[in-house]
Amino acid sequence: MFQTDSWLIRFLTRVCDLMILNILLILACVTVVLSGDGVVSLYAVTLRMHRGTEDSPGKSFLRVLRGNFIPSVPAALLLFVDVMLIAALRQILFAETLVLSPTLFVFFVIAAFFLTALLSYLFPLLARFENSFLHHLGNAARMAVVNLPVTFMLTAVNLLPVLLPLFFPQMTGVVIAFWLLIGFSAGAYVNSFYLNRIFH
């Protein structure tokens, strides 16, 4: 069980790798300007982890981070809009007075869902392929429509840190702790398993 190639050692090694990636991502996002670059770097590493071509996730993350700032800026702006929209919707949902009509609220919820779905493909595409941003954006939209079951799964995984506290308020502290420790990289790792199949 405790041999270097045992399943337990491999599992613990992978958990440690994901924790390191999570910390690096959070540090990148704290700077705000590197948030998009950080997400691209995270997917670049997790996609390679599933392909078995990644030996040093932490070093690879930092290496990719240095080369993707400019290409990731438009995606980072979309991510900022998505995060702000989701945060605003959450505030509106718990507001004591009616801020938006129910119809308008549902419209913005659908818009936030579709934007999250688009970003679920956009960042991995930026991480995996060389192309112009508009081509990546178009490809992300097409993939989201063609692969609807996977799209719902990817989007649900990316929205879990918002949905879990919403439906289970008593778990808010646990959810925050988990996502600060490993949640973001674990979500990208799970998504990368399905994205690799689509990209092939």
Whether 117 contacts 131, CB under 8 Å: no
Distance between CA atoms of 134 and 106, rounded to whole angstroms?
A: 28
**b/e code 35-53 from CB counts within 10 Å (16+ = b):** bbbbbbbbbbbbbbbbeee
Give this prediction's pTM: 0.92
pLDDT 10s digits, 165-189: 988 999 999 999 999 999 999 999 9
The candidate with the shortest Cα–Cα distance to 179, out of 25, 14, 62, 8, is 25
81-103 pLDDT, tens digit each? 999 999 999 998 888 787 788 89
